[in-house]
């Protein structure tokens, strides 16, 4: 049994997925990949990750949001930290009414990064979010 932390990277940009997979594996993570929401859910069901890096716009404009909200609504997966990526922050700003739930208390992601993402910054966020999630799980188990 491996002690490696597991990360799921889900993005329709295959080059970005390969780059992130290589980066996170070099940091000692076990990395699963997906290229759309359906694949992401399947990978999560196969092996629960410790963190998820999730593109907002894959097969359609809000697929990443749909995956994130589905996970946050499931007791088994709701505490997995999700980092969302977007190449279209200006698209979200232009259509703010459509995306106004982003700022609400039900926002499913721990972080949101604009592409191109700085790998070191993303790596630090993933490490911190996994540590915070583990600390929360320990607290909950102690109660």
Backbone dihedral region of 10: left (phi > 0), alpha (psi from -120 to 50 degrees) or beta? beta
Closest CA to 7 of 58, 69, 82: 82
Question: Per residue in 6-29, pLDDT tens?
Answer: 999 999 999 999 999 999 999 999
Closest CA to 85 of 63, 50, 112: 112
Whole-structure pTM over 0.85, yes or no? yes
Question: Per residue in 65-101, pLDDT tens?
Answer: 899 999 999 999 999 999 999 887 555 555 444 444 4
Q: Label residue 108 by pLDDT band (50, 70, 90).
A: confident
- What is the rounded distance in angstroms from the CA atom of residue 69 to the CA atom of residue 36? 15
Question: Per residue in 33-66, pLDDT tens?
Answer: 999 999 999 999 999 999 999 999 999 888 998 9
């Amino acid at each position: 049994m491996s002690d490696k932390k597991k990360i799921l990277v889900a993005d329709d940009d295959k080059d970005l997925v390969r780059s992130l997979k290589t980066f996170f594996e070099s940091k000692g993570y076990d990395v699963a990949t997906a290229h759309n929401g359906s694949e992401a859910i399947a990978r999560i069901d196969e092996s629960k990750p410790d963190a998820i890096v999730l593109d907002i716009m894959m097969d359609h404009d809000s697929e990443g949001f749909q995956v994130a909200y589905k996970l946050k609504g499931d007791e088994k997966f709701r505490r997995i930290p999700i980092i969302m990526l977007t190449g279209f922050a200006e698209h979200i700003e232009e259509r703010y009414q459509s995306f106004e739930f982003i700022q609400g208390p039900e926002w499913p992601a721990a972080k949101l990064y604009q592409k191109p993402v700085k790998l070191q910054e993303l790596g630090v966020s993933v490490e911190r979010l996994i540590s915070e999630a583990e600390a929360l799980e320990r607290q909950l188990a102690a109660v």
